Structure 1
Amino acid sequence: MSERMHDVVVAGGGPAGLAVALGCAQAGMDVVICEKRPGVLDKACGEGLMPGAVRALAALGVDPPGHAINGITYRQGTLAVHAPFRCGTGRGVRRTELHDALSEAVRRAGVPVSHTPITEVSQHDDHVRAGGLRARYLVAADGLHSPIRDLVGLGSQGTTSTPRWGLRRHFTLPPWEGGVEVTWARRSEAYVTPVAPDTVGVAILSSVRGGFTQQLTAFPDLAARLADAQPASRVRGAGPLRQTTTGRVAGRVLLAGDAAGYVDALTGEGLALSLSTAAELVRCLRAGRPADYERAWVRTSRRSRWLTESLLWARNRPVLGRQIVPAAVRAPWLFAAAVHQLAR
């Protein structure tokens, strides 16, 4: 009896990997997921889904529970500016709830999950071997510090930019904003996202290493608001955030999600980008044209990467960084236009 040939093996059971697997299954492909960590996966994440991400999930038949978000507010000291979403409503969704919803959709689609880790990859003319499986294609959705990215030679030697890290914790506290609130400090930003009627998620991005409580001291008003709130989760961290790659395709191996390259979480568009590029990856595999994915990824991510790189460039220059929120207050139309570009 000949060895079974799958169409696709997806390495990684996070949102990007699950979205790819679900899309492949819905396109009629034989797909299997390899995820060495059993159970519900969590990650340090701002947890705000832009309207575009909500629509992308709906296209997959996924509707995770959460809290509606209507826009983004920037704060710095006494200054504040709000931009509502013009293209629908976003949603604050706990990462565990998102994983549950995607996992359930994958289960209903009949996609099997193997907990065998992928430590070696070998490519052949018509297939790839990984995790003891044989498939036409391997999709590496194994996260920010993807081992498979390095195994297939797509990892970069690093970057000269200032490294940044992220921390996240939830608090039992009714949301006080209808959207995501971003407070800017000298070297960090705090993101407050409503994820339930009685819960907010607080994520801090910083170029300075330190624990959550230490980082929170840079935001005295927020710290005072959280002082009597009960923590609803433990602290999770991630970083360094920027990850560069030399490409997204190496023969029959394709990179998805954070493994495909990551700039920063500054704009909060990471999940939306993962979902949109996952859809492009599925389209390319369905057409039997994996090499087209590189161009599709660049095209689909161009707007997000440009906006994030531009904002991060200004952020990393002290004089300019202090003027980001004042500039948004002086030109709310420009801030609203930028938010619209991120949200759609």
Structure 2
Amino acid sequence: MLDLLIVGGGPAGLATAIHAARAGLDVVVAEPRTTPVDKACGEGLMPGAVRALAELGITPPGHPLRGIRYVDAADARQRAEAGFRHGLGLGVRRTDLHAALARRVAELGVPVRPVKVDAVTVRQDTGSVGAAGLTARYLAAADGLHSPVRRHLGLDLPDPRPPRYGLRRHFTVAPWTDHVEVHWSTRAEAYVTPLAPELVSVAILTSERAPFDVQLADFPDLAARLATHTSSAVRGAGPLRQRVRGRVADRVLLVGDAAGYIDALTGEGISLALAGAAQLVRCVREDRPQDYERAWRRASLRHRLLTDTLVRLRVRPQLTRLIVPTAARLPFLFAGLVNGLT
């Protein structure tokens, strides 16, 4: 019998597999898709994520990031900037990150089975959990934002707030900054992340359902800068916010986006996935799954508080207009918030 069966071979699932293998656990990943898998995301790793990946033996290629810059879409001269105090971040193509994690999993000899786990087939008793013909002491559900395993276990909660969506496109243009730029309009945010000498990622977060080019028009300075450059196809994701009743159901533990998601506003998705993977494996190794919920909450507390606060401001346009001017007026506070999450 396995120690841990991981359902889902995205970054969260693969990070969990790496932690498990390093802890001496017998682990298998169930993932039917061929690596790497692309996904709509901002593609910026904060310094904490870069350090956590390095500790796992992973150094993906990318563009160094020195901080975060907020820009007012209505007046691009209005901006606030905060440098990272504890190392550099990294702009990394999602496919490059996924491929680097997959290589590390292969180096550690972790089997990745090309099987799809149907959530309704997950069965557990007092000593084991099984799915797709595999049996383990525990199962880690790393099956994404709209986790079928989470839904099957009745762990989803309704969300009364307006849904938010993400759209991402790449542009072949030389980066004009070594910061992640967050452009704020009254209806959306646009994240600009340098990825390579001639490539940037632009991710738009919004509650409005409209094509990427229509959304980009809300950011006239950014749209003008990108107008003559070749772009990739658009990838989308959402609704982003996923409320979860809990992250433990007997011998099933949720990790990554499956464990619940607020928003991509603070760019901490990968950092949280890596932290959650480490805590999940610790609880499995100690045979104390009941400790995982508290450990996950403790590891994600600062992120959840800041992200939830920003999302609440976002739905009130009169307050949204104050975000960039306030950050510019109070640079020490802005820098403290940015570095509190890195």
Task: Give the TM-score range, shorter chain.
Answer: over 0.9
Contact 2:35 2:99 survives alignment (8 Å):
no
Q: Displacement of 1:50 after TM fit?
A: 0.3
Distance in 1 separating the partners of 2:31 and 2:38 = 13
Q: Is the 8 A contact 1:121 1:152 kept in 2?
A: no
Q: Which amino acid aligns with 2:129?
A: V
- Give ranges in structure 2 of 5+ residues lacking alignment: none
After TM superposition, which residue ranges in structure 1, 4 or more long, deviate above 2 angstroms? none
In the alignment, the residues of structure 2 paired with residue 39 and residue 273 of structure 1 have an alpha-carbon distance, to the nearest angstrom, of 22
In the TM superposition, 1:1-344 aligns within 5 A as 5-76=1-72, 77=75, 78-119=77-118, 120-156=121-157, 158-231=158-231, 233-343=232-342
**3-state DSSP class of the match of 1:291?**
helix
Rounded to whole Å, the distance in 2 between the matches of 1:39 and 1:277 is 22
Displacement, 1:39?
2.9
Matched residues in 2 for 1:97 and 1:130: separation? 30
Question: SS of the counterpart of 1:91?
Answer: strand
CA deviations over 1:64-114 (Å, ceiling 9, x no partner): 000000000000023011100011100000000000000000011111111
| Aligned equivalents of 1:131, 1:306: Cα separation in 2 | 38
**Counterparts of 1:38 and 1:121, CA distance in 2:** 23
What root-mean-square deviation, in Å, do the aligned CA atoms of Structure 1 and Structure 2 show? 0.8
Deviations 1:255-298 (A, max 9, x none): 00000000000111111111111111111111111111001001
**CA deviations over 1:35-85 (Å, ceiling 9, x no partner):** 122231111000110000000101111110000000000000230111000
- Contact map agreement 1:25 1:111 (CA 8 A) in 2: yes
Q: Partner letter of residue 57 of structure 1?
A: L
Q: Distance in 2 between matches of 1:14 and 1:169?
A: 20
CA positional deviation for 1:159: 0.6
Give the conservation status (yes or no) of the 8 Å contact 1:73–1:81.
yes
Structure 1 unaligned regions, length at least 5: none
TM-score (structure 1 length as normaliser): 0.97
Identical aligned pairs, as a percentage?
Answer: 59
> 1-side partners of 2:37 and 2:283: how far apart?
27
Count of equivalent residues:
337
1:236 partner amino acid: R
1:224 Cα deviation from its structure 2 partner? 0.7
Q: Deviations over 1:182-202 (max 9, x none)?
A: 100111000000111111000
3-state SS of paired residue (1:145):
coil
